[in-house]
Amino acid sequence: MDILIVKLGALGDVVNTLPLAIRLKSHFNARIHWITEPLSLPLLSRHPQVDRTILLDRSSLRSSLCEVVREIRGLRFDVALDLQRIVKSALLCMAASAGRRVGFDRRRCKEMTWIMPFERIAPADPSAHMVEQYLEFARHLGAGDAEVKWNIPEGETPPGGLPEDYIVLNIGATKPANRWSPEGFARLTQLLATRRHLPCVLTGGREDMPAAARIMALAAGSVIDLAGKTTIPQLIGVLSGARAVVSCDTGPMHLAVALGKEVVALFGPADPRRTGPYRGQVVRASLPCAPCNRRTCENPVCMQSITPEDVMEKIDRVL
């Protein structure tokens, strides 16, 4: 059985889809083919349950799209799953040579993709955690319930090595409104140094390097700055060795959960029931405006209301 997964999104979305891929491969002894974008390719191309990765490169979209369509028309799939629920992913599913095409129910579709002639999974709660929403496709196809697994491949050690014992502070977030302040993270390094005698390792993307520099200038204790300096395999290695991971709502938070780490997630605009850590602690302020699901906010009071002491209290629970 050959199954095509169309999930192009960010790292966290891809991580939350992995339990579905693993369940389908196990239940049907299926070959899993996955269309993805460059950010998640290093994870999926090394994953033991993903047989083929098909790269859609946004930086050269026209030529890449032609190559992808040519490839998926040349293969034969028993099922194609549109897990992105946008026009681009729906058209890719339509282009694939597939016996069945399956998508979300109308209420959970985006960009009017419900008009596509796909099988639809049964309507269900759109506020349920995304891991569970993706697993609804397994149940629709006849693969029953089983243990949720991610099977993340082994990571790599970044240049320079790591302390024997440390806490990861993942300081970035794709959506600006989801970010916590550098001052908050710096104060947290002080609390971890004085109360737990633990060094911190900063992670994030290249866009987070200015915030990391600000944290380093204010921090106390031993802090290693790896923001913008790790590949995905190296990030896996950093997260794997941590005692705990503190993160805003972003992909490495979900990756830390998938690695079985103790996770403390800082939430403001997003709904943690849906996109929070599948397993872990959540820190959020109770405010009437949250969750609002906004990407940007001129006055992100929900994130500003989270104090380092609030975060430290959750860390103490898991250590």
> Residues 171, 137: one domain?
no
Segment 231-252, tens digit of pLDDT: 999 999 999 999 999 999 999 9
* Edge-to-edge strand list for the sheet holding 119-120: 52-55, 31-36, 2-6, 77-82, 98-103, 119-120
> Residues 227, 87: one domain?
no
* Angle in degrees, 0-180, between the axes of helices 11-28 and 251-258, rounded to the nearest 10: 40
Q: Which residue type, as a one-letter code, is found at position 150?
A: W
Of 7, 10, 15, 8, residue with least CA distance to 254: 15
Domain count, the chain: 2
Q: Write down which residue in 106, 141, 176 finishes a domain.
A: 141
Instruction: Label residue 69 by pLDDT band (50, 70, 90).
Output: very high
Burial 271-299 (b: 16+ CB within 10 A, else e): bbebbbbbebbebbbeeeebbeebeebee
The verdict on residue 160 lying in a domain is: no
Task: Read off the CATH number of the domain in which 274 is found.
Answer: 3.40.50.2000
- What's the average model confidence in pLDDT over 90-94? 97
> Residues 65, 202: one domain?
no
The verdict on residue 61 lying in a domain is: yes
> Residues 82, 215: one domain?
no
Rounded CA Rg of the chain: 20
> Residues 174, 313: one domain?
yes
Supply the pLDDT for residue 246. 98
- What's the average model confidence in pLDDT over 92-113? 96
Supply the pLDDT for residue 158. 87
Task: Give 169's strand partners.
Answer: 202, 246
288 preceded by cis ω (within 30°)? no
> Residues 175, 97: one domain?
no
Segment 187-225, tens digit of pLDDT: 999 999 999 999 999 999 999 999 999 999 999 779 999
> Residues 215, 284: one domain?
yes
- CB neighbour list of residue 171: distance below 8 Å, 6 or more residues apart: 179, 180, 182, 185, 202, 203, 204, 208, 211, 212, 215, 227, 248
Domain residues for the domain of 47 are: 2-141
- In the predicted model, what is the mean pLDDT of the chain? 95
The verdict on residue 148 lying in a domain is: no
> Residues 102, 193: one domain?
no
Of 59, 18, 16, 52, residue with least CA distance to 35: 52
Supply the pLDDT for residue 191. 96
> Residues 210, 289: one domain?
yes
Segment 17-42, tens digit of pLDDT: 999 999 999 999 999 999 999 999 99
Segment 126-144, tens digit of pLDDT: 999 999 999 999 999 999 8
Q: β-strand 200-203 against 167-170: which pairing, if any?
A: parallel
| pTM across the whole model | 0.94
Rounded Cα distance, 169 and 300, in Å: 20
User: Distances in Å between the alpha carbon of 297 and those of 47, 176, 180, 270?
Assistant: 36, 8, 13, 12
Instruction: Label residue 94 by pLDDT band (50, 70, 90).
Output: very high
Q: Write down which residue in 124, 141, 158 finishes a domain.
A: 141
- What's the average model confidence in pLDDT over 94-108? 97
The verdict on residue 55 lying in a domain is: yes
> Residues 218, 266: one domain?
yes
The verdict on residue 158 lying in a domain is: no
Supply the pLDDT for residue 309. 97
The verdict on residue 282 lying in a domain is: yes
The verdict on residue 157 lying in a domain is: no
> Residues 209, 288: one domain?
yes
> Residues 93, 24: one domain?
yes
The verdict on residue 193 lying in a domain is: yes
